[in-house]
């Protein structure tokens, strides 16, 4: 029987798990470290999942209608996923993107017919960010109230507050990990951007086994903007702090009760881990994947975790970072 798909929407999910055997050996790890390779999604990132879920949820609710423009703010991968899904469904797409993301992201979104606007190019966003010292949540709210509310035929999907974000991970990512490990998973490690991945995936795994430990990862202090250095030399794209920051800066899509522990990882450590797994296992991953892998490595070295299975979410491919410092010595 022929097995021919009719849309890329049918290709989202069911990404593979891979034990990082070469990396384990090189680092002398006695725990099993397993990567969830989300770059096997059709547009090479975990964000394909939420892009499809948010658009289809908006269609079902009537929020998104034929001829409407899909709108979002993003650090890149959600924009790419939405641009592709919107193109496949016939919707125009517009995205407000952080200025410093890699040029590959802009190029891919344009290839799908999407329109990109840098955050500093939208006066309302630029003004709000300046007045609130970088409060991205406040900037999104200002965009909704002062710009998008005055437009017709737009659908702002808003990944930072959209419940379809963590829900799709609870319905797909979590079950995939549980099934592919035959329920033998001890620890989940994932970076936090909107928090949807770790919240939904962690919730499902804990519903199957409350003893599964969930570890959340945020950038280290040297990899974050500061008054002394508004633009750090090295950042972890798409990963945001959630501990030690005001509550209003934390997306509602992050369930802070779901993780048992959090770790801060510096960009250079994330880069080193990403470079090493490329050399040891032939796996080319991005910055946030490297951060999650570095955190998982520290956890795997703890004596109490000997023999345990650690699943690490690798959100995207390293091909999105070839113009950045990720693979530069």
Of the three residues 121, 156, 191, the one that is the final residue of a domain is: 156
**Per-residue pLDDT at 100 exceeds 90:** no
Domain assignment of residue 311, yes or no: yes
- Tell me, what's the pLDDT at 315? 97
User: pTM for the complete prediction?
Assistant: 0.94
User: Sign of the CA dihedral 236, 201, 213, 25?
Assistant: negative
Asked if 47 is an active-site residue, the reply is: yes
- 328 within domain boundaries: no
Tokens of 208: 């199957």
Whether residue 12 sits in one domain with residue 77: no
Q: What is the pLDDT of residue 234?
A: 87
pLDDT at 120 over 80: yes
Question: Does the pLDDT at position 79 exceed 80?
Answer: yes
34 and 57 belong to one structural domain: no
**In the predicted model, what is the mean pLDDT of residues 313-318?**
96
Residue 126: CB atoms within 10 A of its CB come to 15
299 and 177 part of one domain: yes
Query: Under 8 Å CB-to-CB from 266, ≥6 apart: which residues?
Result: 219, 220, 222, 223
pLDDT-derived band at 320 (thresholds 50, 70, 90) equals confident
Q: Are strands 17-19 and 32-37 parallel, antiparallel or unpaired?
A: antiparallel
Task: Verify that 206 and 107 share a domain, yes or no.
Answer: no
**Residue 1 scores a pLDDT above 90:** no
At which of 156, 191, 220 does a domain end?
156
Residue 260 domain-assigned (yes or no): yes
Q: Rounded mean pLDDT of 189-213?
A: 98
pLDDT tens across 251-273, in order? 999 999 999 999 999 999 999 99
CATH code: domain of residue 110: 3.40.50.1100
Distance CA 115, CA 109 (A): 7
One domain for residues 26 and 92:
no
Tens digits of residue pLDDT in 22-71:
999 999 999 999 999 999 999 999 999 999 999 999 999 999 999 999 99
**Residue 323 clears pLDDT 90, i.e. is over it:** no
pLDDT in tens, 121-154: 999 988 988 887 777 778 888 898 889 989 999 9
For residues 84 and 106, membership in a common domain is answered with yes
What single DSSP character describes residue 212?
A: -
Together in a domain, 118 and 176: no
Q: Express each pLDDT in 223-234 by its tens digit.
A: 987 777 777 888
Q: How far apart are CA 60 and CA 204, in angstroms?
A: 24
For residue 276, the SS3 value is helix
Chosen domain end from 129, 156, 183? 156
| Within-domain flag for 165 | no
Let me know whether 27 and 174 are in one domain: yes
Does residue 97 register a pLDDT over 90? no
Tell the residue number behind the tokens 């802009």, with chain if given: 106
Q: Once rounded to an integer, what is the mean pLDDT over residues 203-208? A: 98
**Catalytic residue of the set 199, 288, 289, 308:** 288
Which of 47, 89, 170, 308 is catalytic? The answer is 47
* Average pLDDT over the chain, rounded to an integer: 94
Asked if the structure places residue 64 within a domain, the reply is yes
235 belongs to a structural domain: yes
Q: How far apart are the first and last CA of the chain?
A: 50
Q: Is 2 domain-assigned?
A: no
**Domain shared by 93 and 217, yes or no:** no
For 94, the domain range is 47-156
- Asked if 61 and 89 sit in the same domain, the reply is yes
Residue 79 lies in a domain: yes
Same domain, 295 and 247: yes
Number of domains in the chain: 2
Residues 176 and 295 reside in one and the same domain? yes
Q: Is 288 a catalytic residue?
A: yes
């Amino acid at each position: 029987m022929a097995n021919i798909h009719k849309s890329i929407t049918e290709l989202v999910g069911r990404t593979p798990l891979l034990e990082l055997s070469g990396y384990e050996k090189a680092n002398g790890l006695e725990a099993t470290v397993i990567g969830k390779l989300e770059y096997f999604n059709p547009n090479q990132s975990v964000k394909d999942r939420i892009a499809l879920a948010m658009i289809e949820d908006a269609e079902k609710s009537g929020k998104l209608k034929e001829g409407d423009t899909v709108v979002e703010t993003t650090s890149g991968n959600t924009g790419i996923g939405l641009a592709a899904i919107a193109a496949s469904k016939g919707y125009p797409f517009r995205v407000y993107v952080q200025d410093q993301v890699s040029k590959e992201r802009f190029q891919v979104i344009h290839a799908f017919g999407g329109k990109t606007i840098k955050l500093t190019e939208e006066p309302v966003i630029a003004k709000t960010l300046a007045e609130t010292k970088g409060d991205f949540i406040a900037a999104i709210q200002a965009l909704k109230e002062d710009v998008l509310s005055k437009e017709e035929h737009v659908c702002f999907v808003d990944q930072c507050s959209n419940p379809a974000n963590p829900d799709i991970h609870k319905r797909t990512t979590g079950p995939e990990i549980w099934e592919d490990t035959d329920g033998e998973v001890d620890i989940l490690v994932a970076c936090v951007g909107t928090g949807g991945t770790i919240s939904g995936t962690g919730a499902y795994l804990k519903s199957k086994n409350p003893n599964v430990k969930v570890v959340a990862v945020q950038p280290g202090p040297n990899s974050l903007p500061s008054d002394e250095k508004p633009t750090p030399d090295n950042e972890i794209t798409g990963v945001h702090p959630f501990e030690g920051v005001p509550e209003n800066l934390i997306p509602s899509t992050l369930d802070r009760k779901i993780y048992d522990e959090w770790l801060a990882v510096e960009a250079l450590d994330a880069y080193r881990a990403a470079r090493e797994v490329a050399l040891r296992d032939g796996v080319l991953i991005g910055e946030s994947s490297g951060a999650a892998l570095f955190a998982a490595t520290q956890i795997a070295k703890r004596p109490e975790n000997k023999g345990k299975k650690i699943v690490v979410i690798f959100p995207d491919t390293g091909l999105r970072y070839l113009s950045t410092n990720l693979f530069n010595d």
